[in-house]
Amino acid sequence: MSDFRDRLMLSRRSALTVLAVGAAGVTAAACSSDNKSGDSAQGSKAPSDPDATVSYSPPLDTPDASPIVEVSVKVADGVLNPDVQLTNANGRVVTGVMSEDRTSFTVTEPLGYGGQYTWSGSATGNDRRPVPVAGTFSTVTPENQIGLVVNLADGQEVGVATPLILTFDEVVTDKKAVEQALKVTTTPETEGSWAWLGEDGGSRVHWRTKDYYQPGTKVSMVAKLYGLDHGDGYYGEADVTSDFVIGRNQVVIADADSHQIVVQNDGNTLMTLPCSYGEGDLDRNVTRSGIHVVSEKHEDFYMSNPAAGYFNVRERFAVRISNNGEFIHANPDTVGVQGSSNVTNGCINLSLENAEQYFATAMYGDPVEVTNTRIPLSEEDGDIYDWIYDWETWKSMSALAGEPDVKSAPATPKDAPDVSGIPTTPQNSGSRQTPVG
């Protein structure tokens, strides 16, 4: 009985030993397999990259980006988070808008010249892994900036021959680029064209219609010049706009042989006034033939003409029709010959009563059509000589029709009267967008 019990216990111990060895063998085999696989992965496989890919416009680290190009950040295979923003060097957040699908964020205000801008925020990929939005770029620092003056004030009512004039304070060498940035809209639609005229310290570009405007026409001009390279390292100082309206259709018919002027409104005679034109004995005393444009008027104006021997003579109800010293104004000294003889130094003289009557109706941009004198109006007779050109010639002076043959013409000829006065027409420097500096 004891011998049987001893053999039974020996059998149990042997079985347990076998099981223990078997289990250890299985465990060892499993561990050996795991270790072998782990060693191989650590030697050849790197962590996977996030799904989301972020791109920037302009590219990061750009040193001289234009402040008017598209500025944006975009993500592929993911979305941008609400914390995305662009800030300037002072920490000011630049205004921008997120797309509905949150794949792009675009800046909506102009940047400043010579500034550094910083992206910040994050994106989330389709794999739910975050990707930073970060980096900087800088905008161009212009060597020089060009500003301009517009001849018309916003909301001004003007005559049917009015040209829109942009006068730059420096010479524009890339006229094509600048002209492409100018847009004129008219209601009703009116055919017109830009033309580059004489340069005197700066460039001038005029927009003129083919024919006189229709009364009531609304005109709007937008010049997207800020950030635009004008050539030779000059960039636009600001965007400029001008909005004006055309008034009644008044034309002055000025036939020198008739010794009178006829003021017409929509083709109907408003008044016929006896006058005296330039004597014509000397070139400087010839009233120029051609379409003049009223540019300013003064109830009192002090005129000087050294060549004719008079200085600071007070004249009443003076309406300027060119910058060479030609006015329609009152002159009591010539009343005796007004209506019968031409004796002036080039102006059109009226009686005091008639001058005041005409003065009350005159408006900037009215055409004064002078005929039958021996010298035509030319580019040497001031700033507004636009109507001396036929339509095809005018269009050829557009930079977009080929580089024009720009002549350097003085604003006032050397022998013109030395006149002084304060223009009644306000000058509009244009509306400006304030960039983010």
Catalytic residue among 230, 275, 292, 347: 347
Residues in the chain: 437
Task: Quote the tokens at residue 31.
Answer: 């561990």
Task: Give kind and range of the element (H or E) at residue 164.
Answer: strand 164-168
Residue 122, beta-bridge partner list = 132
- The distance from CA 155 to its chain's CA centroid, rounded to whole angstroms, is 18
Which residues, other chains included, contact 44 with Cβ-Cβ below 8 Å and sequence gap of 6+?
Answer: none
- CB-CB contact of 274 with 337 (8 Å): no
Query: What whole-number distance in Å separates Cα of residue 406 and Cα of residue 412?
Result: 17
Query: What whole-number distance in Å separates Cα of residue 212 and Cα of residue 209?
Result: 6
Q: Which of 106, 145, 143, 116 is nearest to 228 (CA)?
A: 145
Task: Give kind and range of the element (H or E) at residue 7.
Answer: helix 2-44
Known catalytic membership, residue 230: no
For residue 205, what is the DSSP state? E
Q: Which of 151, 150, 147, 152 is nearest to 169 (CA)?
A: 147
Known catalytic membership, residue 292: no
Catalytic residue among 206, 230, 298, 329: 329
Q: For strand 234-236 and strand 144-146, is the pairing parallel, antiparallel, or unpaired?
A: parallel
**Residue whose token pair is 């027409």:** 425
Q: Which positions are catalytic?
A: 329, 347
